[in-house]
Amino acid sequence: MSATHLNVPVPVPADGDCAIRDICEFVGNKWSVLVVILLGQRVYRFNELHRSIEGISQRMLTLTLRKLARDGLVTRTPYATVPPRVDYQLTDLGRTLLEPLTALNTWAETHQSVIRAARRHHDATETPSGS
Amino acid sequence: MSATHLNVPVPVPADGDCAIRDICEFVGNKWSVLVVILLGQRVYRFNELHRSIEGISQRMLTLTLRKLARDGLVTRTPYATVPPRVDYQLTDLGRTLLEPLTALNTWAETHQSVIRAARRHHDATETPSGS
DNA sequence: CGGTATCCACCGGGATACTG
DNA sequence: CAGTATCCCGGTGGATACCG
């Protein structure tokens, strides 16, 4: 064994001293994850991202990009052209995040059918239609 | 290239056919992650978990455990003793999740100081107190 | 094009009280 | 001990309108 043991302080503290809680704040925002993944492929412009992520609103894309920039994961590069243009790309730091994200994505792809089966089974078993 | 490229459909679909969106639903719930991590160490009883995760309410712990059980990640084992007792533990499937979660946690631990520095720098730079 | 500002609906989730 | 039920508040995030 080795990688299957996470050393997390118990009790898990509520404050900011817990790395895993910190990352959950980030991953919790599904938009952040999607943006990082897309930017992992290439540089994107604002509206490219907007079109590439189904269901995200302009507002959420803005907020997400701002947060990612604040955390030093992406850079924002505006050009004083007309029409205006802004490029977004991952920083070196942001790129390092792709690896654990890939691991997670691989896990999701590998096991999603099993999970859905478990879910269906559970629903069929534990939620009898009373009548 | 190799592990730094995620193959995600673009545009990222809004429906359930996207594994990464599925996993975000899960990881989005910080409680789920914490519970899985704790159960990665050993079997827990309900109130042990409750005490071990600062800030979680009884309600959220219940909901979280239910969802994890539904997805086939944990098992619930009640004993007909008095006082009653319920054990929770990871399934084999749940245990496989520990590895990607570990990767993520390692990343968080490794880079959290850099991120916080970036954040402070950004706040100090971009949010000047106007005067 | 790439945003910002405002309004508002929804629901995640805490607090509390009660039960098997 | 291990929950369930109810109430209710606040933040998340969509829709819309406007700006440089």
Query: What per-residue confidence (pLDDT) applies to B4?
Result: 53
The domain locations on chain A are 16-125
Q: Positive or negative CA dihedral for A118, B73, B68, A96? A: negative
pTM above 0.75, yes or no: yes
Q: Which fold has domain B16-125?
A: Arc Repressor Mutant, subunit A (1.10.10)
Residue B3 has pLDDT above 90, yes or no: no
SS3 A15: coil
Q: What's the pLDDT band for B131 if we cut at 50, 70, 90?
A: very low
Q: At what angle do helices A58-70 and A30-39 cross, to 10 degrees?
A: 70
Find and list the nucleotides of strand C having atoms within 7 Å of a protein beta carbon.
1-6, 13-17, 20
Query: What per-residue confidence (pLDDT) applies to A130?
Result: 44
| Tens-digit pLDDT profile for residues B92-129 | 999 999 999 989 889 988 998 999 899 999 988 876 54
Q: What's the pLDDT band for A117 if we cut at 50, 70, 90?
A: very high
**In angstroms, how far is CA A8 from the centroid of its own chain?**
22
| Tens-digit pLDDT profile for residues A37-48 | 999 999 999 999
Cβ distance of A27 and B24 shorter than 8 Å: yes
* Among the partner residues A71, A112, A115, nearest to B115 by beta-carbon distance: A71
